[in-house]
Chains A and B, each alone.
Chain A
Amino acid sequence: MENSAKKSTVEFNPELDVSKDDINAYLDSQDRTSIYDFKDDETAFYKLDSGLTEEIVNKISEEKHDPEWMHEFRLKSLDLYNKIQVPQWGSPIDGLNMDNIVTYVRPNTDMKTSWDEVPEEIKSAFDKLGIPQAEHDYLAGVGAQYDSELVYHNLQESVAAKGVVYSDLESAMTGEYADMVKEYFMKLVPPTDHKFAALHGAVWSGGSFVYVPKGVTVEVPLQSYFRLNAKGAGQFEHTLIIVDEGADLHFIEGCSAPKWNVANLHAGCVELYVKKNARLRYSTIENWSKNMYNLNTKRALVEEGARMEWVSGSFGSHVSYLYPTTILKGKDSQCDYTGITFSGKGQNLDTGCRMVHLGENTSSLVTAKSLSKDGGINTFRSSIEVMPSATGSKSSVDCSSLMLDDISRSDTIPEIDVRTADCNIGHEAKIGRISDDAVFYLMSRGISEEEARSMIVSGFANPISKELPLEYAAEMNNLIKLEMEGA
């Protein structure tokens, strides 16, 4: 296993009532740089050849023991993939060559329901990421995917007793919920949607299925964690969540990978169905390695009186295309999107969201923050679409960007499409730098310039971190602190 740990240090500050050693010891304990960037030996794993051909898709289907309809679905998706053009807008993805991407890597284990049964080398990866501990401390269930397959899935008995289903998608496809999966799978994000949705349809593997029955509230969150370890591989997990009428769920998604010198690809798909008067919060802390092309598709369909909440933190990847889409179909349905994106050296992150108002009196609230540093490129891209049927609807978009140096870039490209007079739509955005006055004020109180800038950035990100569970907010703040080192 390689480990590229990097230590943070501080110079002694006589104004502070702690020694330099104390501070460095504290930073050591907090230093999370290395925890994502470790690589495991995968020589024993089963891998398909790189590239994308009908033969490879057939092999994946065979490996997954797909029902016939799914096998056909994959082949149709492959055909679409070959026909659909690469997007001409957005960050460049010229460095991504599908001929070099391995679409399926199977670890040498079946899925387990106890961490003790997971092979040591894989378990140790998730231990380092703190997943078993998190499950023990504050999660109702955990799914852990390693490369193309789930290696661990478990749900608390008390939650399962309420009828909540949380399983890997393959099991759901052939088990008791087979009809439900067939009814909903890639209906919200059809393979015709765009090139990478078609790619996903052809080679998807792994991911989770969640069903929360009518009226059931899951008190503590469920979490899926995706780890992509293999060099030059792709991860194509599919998450399908159905929150039935009046039910309530918080689902957390985390992802990471070690850094390789070749491109890796993540083209996952998330489909969320929020039924009448239900509520779903979907939180993501994404910290892919900086060689990753993160071309992920997320979409929610929200029924009458229901509420969808997206909380999104994007820190990793080389290139991202990530725009959670919400279709506010039902009358009085609502959606909040709260997101932060931090682009550093070598990163070109194109993130944002899309709201489609279809139902009467629907409302959406978008709060987006972005930071660019060390030559990082940030693009906030959004679309608010208010259809003729969405009378009485409201939408508000608030977007702010901070530029932390003069070699970075920050763009905002919002679109508002309104097709009814009976609505109220507002949009506001601002781009600027850290105020010199604020830095001066903090420095006049004995805080170093670096710490002052870091504090200002943490304050800037506060509206997002306060929406996360405490442990995840702390994790996000750590990531920001790391990114701010030397800024």
Chain B
Amino acid sequence: MGETSNGVLVNHLPSPTWNRLGVNRAFVNFETLPEVEKTFEFTIENAEQITIERKSTKEAVLFADSFSQGIRREATVAGKAPIYQKQIFATGMGAQYTDLVEKLVHKTDILTVSENEKLEDAVILRWDFKKDGKAASQQIIHAKKNSSATFLLIQESEREAKGHVAIETKVILEEGAKVNLIKVNMLGEGFVLMDDTAAVINEGADLEFTQMILGGEKTYTGCYADQAGDGAVFNVNTGYMANKEHLIDINYVACERGENCSSKIYVKGSLRDRAFKTFRGTIDFRRGSKNSVGDEQEDVLLLDEGVINKTMPVILTEEEDVDARHGATIGNLSPEVLFYMGSRGIDKHAAEMLITRGHLISIANTIPDEDTVKKINLFIREAFDSNECF
């Protein structure tokens, strides 16, 4: 399926459901992207710890695919092959988005962590637009055997700024490697962010993926983790908040292929005003993923009457010897919590603010960069202060 004339279809649910629910995929309409001229490049901090190579995108794609080739064994999902896995290196947002990024960028950065190297400081890729701007970028993180590294990707701007950003990050984890990949969106209220992640996780390797979606008018994001090796680990910890008429559309897929794999997808967030959020989370146990476990949970706090929340916690299983769970809780604060807060002099609005901040800050505090944590704190505080409710 090719890109449509005025946009791309992204975030395909691996196993489609009733069309009328409108969750099988999302559509990014190019006609509604803000018009901006200025193009941005990211800056990179602590780069001396790794090797950076800028290759033609075509060459880089072949390089990444070489790590994914041979592990694509399709399952029969609900009797039908998934529609989006034509990609050799499967991504969360899907083939049309990858095609778009590859058209927009001509060069791809390959960030390599050497074998057995344990990086002390986080490598930070920063898109600090300040004012209006646009950017497109593709990078490949290659963590060689038994290496360990943290990569922090931050997009930020002033609150009133507008623009659009298209990012794709592919992560290759060789045997025993560990990568903390942290993505933080603190963009202004006129930004559209498309941010895709894909990973191939080999034997004993571990991808810890943290995502904070705090800003932007529209955020489309996905992550597909191919747990190809035995004992591969993929953990997701995501926090989001959306207000006004902001839109967040998320698609996470953990595909467990090896034995003794483990995945956790934990997502927490709050919605205010007329915000619209869709979360698709899929744990896909392929035949052979014996003794593997998977757990996903979304907790959503709904703070205003006009919000729309869609949650799809999906589990696909073609392996008997697995332990899979999912759950979701959606609603406002319980009367018990409000009563408790009230008994301590905290009114309903203040209680909602405290709980929301608590959810997000608990995730932010895991980011190993003090400056970023402070910025996130400030961003959240300003977001609440700017809302009349608070």
Contacts and interface: CB of A to CB of B under 8 A. Distances in A.
A401 B317 contact: yes
Interface in B313-327: 313-327
A429 B321 contact: no
A412 B315 contact: yes
A418 B322 contact: no
Contact of A417 (B19, B310, B334): B310
A413 B329 contact: no
B322 A431 contact: yes
A415 B310 contact: yes
A87 B17 CA distance: 9
A422 B77 CA distance: 35
A200 to B, nearest CB: 18
Interface in B278-333: 287, 300, 302-332
A480 interface: no
Contact of B310 (A405, A410, A416): A416
B316 A411 contact: yes
Interface string A387-423: 0100100000000010111101111111111111111
Contacts of A430: 323-326
Which of A88, A404, A405, A409 has most B Cβ within 10 Å? A409
A24 B115 CA distance: 66
B24 interface: yes
Contacts of B307: 418-419, 421
B320 A408 contact: yes
B15 A411 contact: yes
From A401, A411, A423, residue with most partner B Cβ within 10 Å: A411
B71 interface: no
B21 interface: yes
Interface string A88-108: 111110000000000000000
A29 to B, nearest CB: 33
Nearest to A412: B315
B16 A89 contact: yes
B78 A413 contact: yes
B328 A426 contact: yes
* Contact residues of A: prevailing secondary structure: strand
Nearest to B279: A416
Contact of B331 (A408, A410, A425): A425
A418 to B, nearest CB: 5
A426 B329 CA distance: 5
Contacts of B345: none
A377 interface: yes
Contacts of A425: 328-331
A391 B21 CA distance: 20
A229 interface: no
A409 B314 contact: no
Contacts of B302: 418, 420-421, 423
Contact of B332 (A348, A409, A422, A428): A422
A426 B302 CA distance: 13
A426 B311 CA distance: 11
Contacts of B24: 89
B76 interface: yes
Interface residues of A, number: 45
A235 interface: no
Given A91-B79, A421-B307, A413 B325 contact: no
A379 B18 CA distance: 13
B324 A348 contact: no
Nearest to B278: A417
A409 B76 contact: yes
A429 B314 CA distance: 9
A317 B238 CA distance: 42
Contacts of B15: 89, 379, 411, 413
A379 B322 CA distance: 17
Contacts of B80: 88-90, 92
Interface string B144-162: 0000000000000000000
A413 B17 contact: yes
Contact of B324 (A409, A420, A432): A432
Contacts of B309: 416-419
A350 B323 CA distance: 21
A370 B311 CA distance: 22
A415 B316 contact: no
Contacts of A428: 325-327
Interface of B: 15-19, 21, 23-24, 76-80, 287, 300, 302-332, 334
Q: Which 9 residue pairs spanning A and B have beta carbons closest together?
A: A421-B302, A403-B320, A424-B331, A89-B16, A425-B330, A431-B324, A406-B320, A427-B328, A416-B311
Interface of A: 87-92, 348, 350, 377, 379, 381, 383, 388, 391, 401, 403-406, 408-433
